[in-house]
Structure 1
């Protein structure tokens, strides 16, 4: 899985060159058809700007995954207009905000580079992150979370091995790309958290953000593989992306109590979008401008404006439910 610690991800991002950023713009051409603007960095970005773009991608990926679940809950409660609002906003988060940040950060490279990035992330989560989360959950008595974390750790090991095999095929031109894994679709009903320890809740939040980002990045890697004429690799990335979102993220969302009533979900969305519009993204824009990363600064400002509009739309929907 790609989503490893911020520090680990930033190390990978900081090693990307301007050439890889140019390749990324090509790699994103197909999924970026829906974008209203193109942002490309004309030089290597400041490390802090890369860090802020990583934070942005994690947040946008998490919003995409969460809003789709919130939309499903709105449908259950017979609020179809709210369901459409959540799903439409989710698509904006993924197909516009996250893709633009990924272009600026130079996330997508060659197929081999993308596989190496995936292998590093899967290895970290298989060996370190999820095993640590499982140990902590057992100590705190959250046994269901410990079981889930242990199962996901094993999945990540299998994903790593499949990506390693695929990398050998890409490099040597010999062998067969592994078949994609099958996702066990996990339904996410509304409900309170099913864990008790604050540490487990925090680890679930970290894991969900990582799973959401992994899904988004693997879909970008799949698009790149299709463009490079490797449909088997594209299928491997797409299948793994589905596991990350519909199985891992969903299972963690159940334990975390991510989905509540539609009114609660709208309140959460209003708060999140408002915070990003007034604090997070303007702060990122100011920092990027100070170090001369003008394209990134423009992206952060434009996204902040979008967030304000999204907050207003969610607030209007909430008002109409009262």
Structure 2
């Protein structure tokens, strides 16, 4: 997708979000409370640069999944079902293949307790630091609608953190009840121009969009692990929170950012990004991984580059057919 080529990383939606990420492989020894492996166990043998490149990959692929879902919904609104299907199928590849493989290489999914601790840390940062700062900056820059949204999301992330803390207590002690999952207030994302004016607000929206996309993807992987280990209530909590991150938070931010345009422009953006990844980003990652002996990661990056080239060709064909 175009995530590497037109923006930097910091950390309407359709039926895409109804499709759960396939279950991650079972961890050896099961998942007893308090005895789960920590995240990144599999990544310890990797070179630091490879880990950084895999982390960038996960952010990008999660974001691509989310944005292609939005583009698909817009194609549906324009009466272009074939283009919508192309965006959706590509989104699934980005999420269920590329991101999942990168997550496996880096060892992102641990046991239920470790996954909850990882999420608590992230939600705490977003609640106490990131979104509060973004709201203050947007208010100072006169982007009052963005300031309001950032403040609302900060409050939501605090509730998510608290629910995860309760769930962690249940998982580690065996006492209590996993909280009920939150319900997303689904935000439609029609094509439109940005609704903010300050460059700082636009940059903060970009950071937030990437963060929400990654949170959704991670939580769906964590949900699959919880389901696999027999904790259906925890799986529901992960899935419900993932829906809020994607269909409410990311969608609201996408409206303000003017992320979705007419389908022709959306296809053009996708082509540019996929080509950049196919020819520059992933080959560069592969070269670096090869140089430090991370051959499995290098092969993953090469395979992903080939996939992105095919995506670019498919999007180009769809654009050409629009006339």
Q: Same-fold call, TM > 0.5?
A: yes
Alpha-carbon contact 1:131-1:149 (below 8 Å) kept: yes
CA apart distance, 1:145: 0.3
Which whole-Å deviations, capped at 9, do the CAs of 1:246-304 have from their partners, x for residues lacking one?
00000000000010000000001001101111111111111111111111000000000
Q: Does 1:132 align with 2:150?
A: no
Which secondary structure does the structure 1 equivalent of 2:175 belong to? coil
* Structure 2 Cα separation of the partners of residues 114 and 167 of structure 1: 9
Which secondary structure does the structure 1 equivalent of 2:209 belong to? helix
Which secondary structure does the structure 2 equivalent of 1:316 belong to? helix
Alpha-carbon contact 2:24-2:224 (below 8 Å) kept: no
Alpha-carbon contact 1:130-1:152 (below 8 Å) kept: yes
- 1:116-265 to 2 correspondence within 5 Å? 116-265=117-266
* Structure 2 Cα separation of the partners of residues 144 and 318 of structure 1: 34
**Structure 1 segments (4+ residues) deviating >4 Å:** 40-43
1:310 equivalent in structure 2: 311
Q: Does 1:99 align with 2:75?
A: no
1:280 equivalent in structure 2: 281
* Structure 1 Cα separation of the partners of residues 257 and 133 of structure 2: 18
CA apart distance, 1:25: 3.8
Which secondary structure does the structure 2 equivalent of 1:191 belong to? coil
* Structure 2 Cα separation of the partners of residues 41 and 302 of structure 1: 20
Gaps of 5+ in 2: 1-8, 12-22, 28-40
CA apart distance, 1:26: 2.5
2:26 equivalent in structure 1: 26
2:300 equivalent in structure 1: 299
Alpha-carbon contact 1:134-1:146 (below 8 Å) kept: yes
Which whole-Å deviations, capped at 9, do the CAs of 1:58-92 have from their partners, x for residues lacking one?
11011100001101111111111101100010000
Label 1:290 to 1:60 Cα distance change in 2 as closer, same or farther (>3 A): same
* Structure 1 Cα separation of the partners of residues 297 and 221 of structure 2: 20
* Structure 1 Cα separation of the partners of residues 318 and 192 of structure 2: 21
* Structure 2 Cα separation of the partners of residues 42 and 183 of structure 1: 33
CA apart distance, 1:196: 0.3
Label 1:193 to 1:214 Cα distance change in 2 as closer, same or farther (>3 A): same
* Structure 2 Cα separation of the partners of residues 130 and 285 of structure 1: 34
CA RMSD of superposed structures (Å): 1.6
CA apart distance, 1:45: 1.0
2:32 equivalent in structure 1: none
Q: Which has the higher contact order (CA 8 A, sep 6+)?
A: 2
Count the aligned residue pairs. 291
Which secondary structure does the structure 2 equivalent of 1:26 belong to? coil
Label 1:136 to 1:201 Cα distance change in 2 as closer, same or farther (>3 A): same
Label 1:295 to 1:41 Cα distance change in 2 as closer, same or farther (>3 A): farther
Which secondary structure does the structure 2 equivalent of 1:163 belong to? helix
CA apart distance, 1:41: 6.0
Q: TM-score, normalised by structure 2?
A: 0.88
2:76 equivalent in structure 1: 75
